Amino acid sequence: MSGGDRYSVLVAAIGNPDRGDDGVGPAIANRLRDRVPTGVRVLECGGDLLELINEWTGSAAAILIDASDPAGDPGRIRRLDLSSSRLPADFAQNSTHAFGLAETVELARALGQLPARLAVYLVEGERFEIGVSLSPRVAEAVGKATEAILAELSRMAAG
Amino acid sequence: MATRTINVDYIARVEGESSLQLDIRDGVVDRVRLSIFEPPRFFEAMLRGRRFDEVLDIVARICGICPIAYQMSGVAAIENLLGIEVEPPIHALRRLLYCGEWIESHSLHVAMLHAPDFLGYSDAMAMARDHGDAVRRALALKKAGNDLLRLLGGREIHPVNVRVGGFYRVPTRAEFAPVAESLKRARDHAIATLRWVATFPFPDCTRDYEFVALRYRDEYPMNRGRIVSSAGLDIAAADYEDEFLERQVPYSTALRSALRRRGAYLVGAMARYALNYDHLPEEVRALAGSAGLGAVCRNPFQSILVRAVEVIYACSEALRLIADYEPPARPFVAAEPQAGTGCGCTEAPRGILYHRYRTDSDGVIQEANLVPPTAQNQGIIEEDLRQVAMAGLDLDEDQLKANCEQSIRNHDPCISCAAHFLTLRVNRS
């Protein structure tokens, strides 16, 4: 992960491909990698989310992709605009790491280091056991989320 | 009989999940229980049945904060088992890799996790609005550490480049040029960070710890050395289990260690510093002195100063190693399986990390024993808490909880590693 200033848009997929539906972000990143417009960098982020602040500094926009906790509708895709609003409080409690996604975004906001446009796509997961594959409904959502993100990147490119 | 129970159900700004219960009876702290409730992770069982050359990739997954430490103690133990002595350039590269992890881990803890305690903020996000430059310096330091890990480890998290006998691939001199530039800036940030933390208000506290750390010739210890203590212990890694024991307590999923003869002891930055001050370069000792540190620091609240000093040292040492670097003739020496037992002990950012493996003649692991630094420091953390709680008996619940949490963070516990851990509960009676 380096050289973020050469790219105008950062797409960062957060998750562990070896933890079931936590791997939905990396799965979407794999689909996006060969299809994103010039100037868009696709990055996988396994653990150290603070590094994202260094990565998106200099980028005009960033799109984050992550799995969200089970809430009865696996595969549901939500897009949240983080440019001016915070992640919901319940989401902030989900990481056992010292700095999760919500903390990283709010730290960057306090430092004035958020990209002008920042959105997160959340795909609701169902199972997160070690070594299992994506659950069927989450696997189905991969294509749909990929297309939605490509459409957003096209709209950004069109200004 | 008046009983007061104070519970902290989840300790923030530490790695992993743990809680604390204090029972106060008739104005005396009756019981301190630091409970680690992170599920046990059974890494030692997972390693059994795997080949010796698979160990390093497995143990790198134990911790996202200190994967290098697990690889360094793992490779030291396996090479000890196989009778492999790596060449000086390989040793230098491993030391350089460790510098990256110390810079990254300490910088995160000093500026993001521990500093808010001293300045009265709930977390780094709140602190960043008033101390943005300090947080930006920490991010730049972390990046410099990451740059080293990426180059030498293959990637920042769960590195893949270390192998038994050396590395899969070693960098060229040219590849180090941008990293050296980043480290020069990082060293300036590290000095500024020490000056910043030196202005913090430190509670009066003196503890008579038995410090335990590695010591080797004229090196500030990282990858090798004998295990020594401030009470005169001086043993080889192979004798670790003769002197130290691990115990299970019913309220925690983590084992805890003690010296068989003397009980609780402290590992980590304060111990390394106290036992190896004479091995720090003069310029680093001068910077430590300017921050108010002598040759030994016995105030656990000032551990933040010692970590900041170690970040400066790690930046300087990394620059020295890069300047002296000559690529080895070969990246690794071949390793053949054999039956035996090997031990390794290296200095993780949080203190000594001991590994022991036993293999059969096919090189398959029959037994593994891993003792992380947080397991070793749990006894001291509880003793510190008892003292902090006794001194704060008249405080209201919120302030007492805050003091206890700060006391725990003095030792930067990595609970994920120890649960192979915080919620505070105080019972007053």
Give residue limits of the domains in chain A. 9-158
- Compare A104 and B75 and report the one with higher pLDDT: B75
Sheet holding A9-14, edge to edge: A40-45, A9-14, A61-68, A117-124, A77-81
Distance CA B374, CA B413 (A): 5
pLDDT at B91: 97
- The pLDDT tens digits for B156-213 are 667 889 999 999 999 999 999 999 999 999 999 999 999 999 999 999 999 999 999 9
Query: Which CATH superfamily groups domain A9-158?
Result: HybD-like (3.40.50.1450)
Separation CA B229–CA B246 (nearest Å): 18
Q: By mean pLDDT, which of B145-159, B264-278, B335-349 is the weakest?
A: B145-159
β-sheet bridge partners, residue A20: none
Q: Where exactly are the structural domains of chain B?
A: 4-40+394-428, 43-377
Query: Which residue of B139, B147, B158 is in closest CB contact with A50?
Result: B139
pLDDT band at B421 (very low <50, low <70, confident <90, very high): very low
Neighbours of B337 (CB within 10 A): 16
Distances in whole angstroms, Cα of residue B89 to Cα of each of B68, B109, B331, B421: 18, 30, 9, 38
CB-based contacts of B357, cutoff 8 Å, min separation 6: B47, B52, B55, B74, B77, B78, B81, B341, B342, B365, B367, B368, B369
CATH fold, domain B43-377, is Cytochrome-c3 Hydrogenase; chain B (1.10.645)
pTM here is 0.90
Which residues on chain B are in Cβ contact (under 8 Å) with A46? 64, 157-158
Q: Are B390 and B12 in contact (CB under 8 A)?
A: no
CA distance B135 to chain A (A): 8
Q: Are B48 and B365 in contact (CB under 8 A)?
A: yes
**Residue B300 in this model has a pLDDT that exceeds 70:** yes
Rounded to the nearest 10 degrees, the angle between the axes of helix B132-153 and helix B67-82 is 30
- Above 90 in pLDDT, residue A48? no
pLDDT at position B39 is 52
Which of B104, B135, B175, B415 is the best substitution to test chain A (most A C-beta atoms within 10 A)?
A: B135
- Summarize pLDDT for B349-393 with one digit per residue, the tens: 999 999 999 999 999 999 999 998 988 998 999 999 999 988 988
Is A111 part of the contact surface with chain B (CB cutoff 8 Å)? yes
Q: Nearest-CA residue of chain B relative to A99? A: B13
